[in-house]
Amino acid sequence: MDLYFAGAEQQTYLRRLIDLDVKHIAISFYEWQRRHSVDDIYKHVPEDVKVIIMPGIAKKEDIDFKAFTDDYIEFAERNADQCITYGLDAPHCPADITKATRQSLDLLPNVVRFPTEDEQLVDLAREYERLGVNARLGKSMPTNELRRVQATLFGSNITDPKVLKGARFEATTSMAWLSARRFGELWIWSRGALKHYSAQNLARAVRAHRETIQGFGVDPGACLANDQAALTELAVRSLLAMAQSLTGRPRDRQRAEEAAISGNGPTNVLEASRGTEGAISPPVPVIRQELITLPSILLKTEDEKQKVASTGLSMRTCDSCNLADQCPESKEGAACAFHLPVEIKNRDQWEAASHYLLEMQMQRIAFARFDEETSGEVLKPRLGQEMDRFYKMLSAQKDLEQKPDPVPGGAMSRIFQLPPPQTGDLNGQQESSEEGDGEEDIAEGELVEFGDANYEEDTPA
């Protein structure tokens, strides 16, 4: 997948991108008109750089749409053979002008059509080869629906890897790199995710990603000092690494990411899978391996019957863990350092686990109340829901302690929402089963969010 860096209509930005060896740029015609007197893009852009032309009026309301679209059509015609042209994506443009502009642009090669509010991508895919998806549509439309669109998709200001990876995106534009230049933000591609930190969290971000920043060839000290050039270079290299990681087959993506960080290897991951004569290598035969029981599962044989138990081990690794940035034991290439063997098989163990859950829930409530007070906001409904949950848990705990539970389907079954067994209990007795109350619990969720990596969802150009 190709990522086109937006904002290149400004010569200062263009020169910086060229210095960083960027080969894909996007320009806004609205801004181009204000800065250049010529319509030939390649009088200002090197010939080996690929360009996407965008109208750049997604939020404009007070312009002469008729005059602007006439100029845009002429500009697109002049550069159509060398550039990809984005169609009109302007909600405030009158319908008749939008329709006339589309009809003119449809005659050109390499045009990407954007749907209006009344159109569906699936329907447009029956007629058009290239379709555009802006940030608003990319956020609102489920990825599985985007995947079903039988057309080549082009994004406008979409940099969420989950969206780009899940659908058929050939390219997208992004202005994220300008946030680093303008506002001192840190954008970094780390452990398969594009992470974003505000200027206020710059010191913490640099400490957490020091090795990755060095791997991109950028000085962490310069980033910590809010050096504009260093933050811009880091953002550009991170976006390039993300784009290459979304190209080709899974094993090629990993190879591409490593090559992008180290600066070695082919710039296009497809080159890595081609032979000496340019042909794609034949598929590798499947190797059958010995089957291994998952490390978190223990199989024990008792009385000639196999029983399943938990070992408490985890397959989690630091490189793929979403807690790696905050974890004190995080190390690149390491398995999880924490081990929690839990056993809940008899009444005493059940009661101890229940007490622990009550204490943990009370701590959550206390921190949520503290957050409510210090933030000065109105009362938060979520806090009340968690308090209700606590009293349900407390009631179940009292029921467990006050009543003997010699039969299946008793208090513990209700706590864990488990169907009662047909025979026996812990003491080997048998009795008729009892249905649980069937009440649906409140959805799980953290009371306080600690998100520090928000993906860019810019307003469409």
String of DSSP letters for 323-336: TTTT-TT--TTPBP
Residue scoring higher pLDDT (447 or 317):
317
Q: How far apart are CA 444 and CA 434, in angstroms?
A: 26
Domains and CATH numbers, the chain: 2-270 (3.20.20), 310-339 (no CATH), 342-454 (no CATH)
Burial of residue 351 (number of CB atoms within 10 Å: 0-12, 13-18, 19+): middle
């984005």: which residue's tokens?
86
Q: What is the mean pLDDT of residues 222-240?
A: 92
Rounded to 5 degrees, φ, ψ at 371 are -65, -40
Could you tell me the two tokens for 323?
Answer: 């807690």
Number of helices and strands in the chain (H, E): 18, 12
Q: List, for residues 279-328, the tens digit of each pLDDT value.
A: 444 555 667 777 777 776 777 777 767 777 777 677 788 877 777 777 88
pLDDT of residue 191: 81
Side chain identity at 353, as an amino acid letter? A
The overall average pLDDT reported for the chain is: 77
Nearest to 6 by CA among 237, 173, 235, 182: 173
H helices of 141-209, in order, are 143-147, 161-166, 176-183, 202-208
Could you tell me the two tokens for 267?
Answer: 């710039």
Residue scoring higher pLDDT (19 or 452):
19
pLDDT of residue 251: 43
The residues, any chain, with a CB within 8 Å of residue 11's CB and separated by 6 or more, are 35, 44
Q: How far apart are CA 237 and CA 130, in angstroms?
A: 27
CA atoms within 13 A on the CB side of 101: 29
Using pLDDT thresholds of 50, 70 and 90, give the confidence band for residue 269.
very low
Percent of the chain topping pLDDT 90: 23
Using pLDDT thresholds of 50, 70 and 90, give the confidence band for residue 422.
very low
Q: Look at residue 199 and tell me whether its pLDDT is greater than 80.
A: yes
Q: List, for residues 127-179, the tens digit of each pLDDT value.
A: 888 999 998 888 888 888 888 888 889 999 888 888 888 777 899 999 889 88
Q: How many CB atoms lie within 10 A of CB 54?
A: 30
Using pLDDT thresholds of 50, 70 and 90, give the confidence band for residue 416.
low
């549509």: which residue's tokens?
137
pLDDT of residue 75: 92
Using pLDDT thresholds of 50, 70 and 90, give the confidence band for residue 351.
confident
Q: How far is CA 318 from the centre of its chain?
A: 18
Q: Look at residue 409 and tell me whether its pLDDT is greater than 60.
A: no
CA quadruple 28, 146, 149, 135: dihedral, nearest 10:
-10
Rounded to 5 degrees, φ, ψ at 214 are -65, -35
Rounded to 5 degrees, φ, ψ at 196 are -135, 125
Q: Contact, 152 vs 131, CB < 8 A?
A: yes
Side chain identity at 82, as an amino acid letter? Q
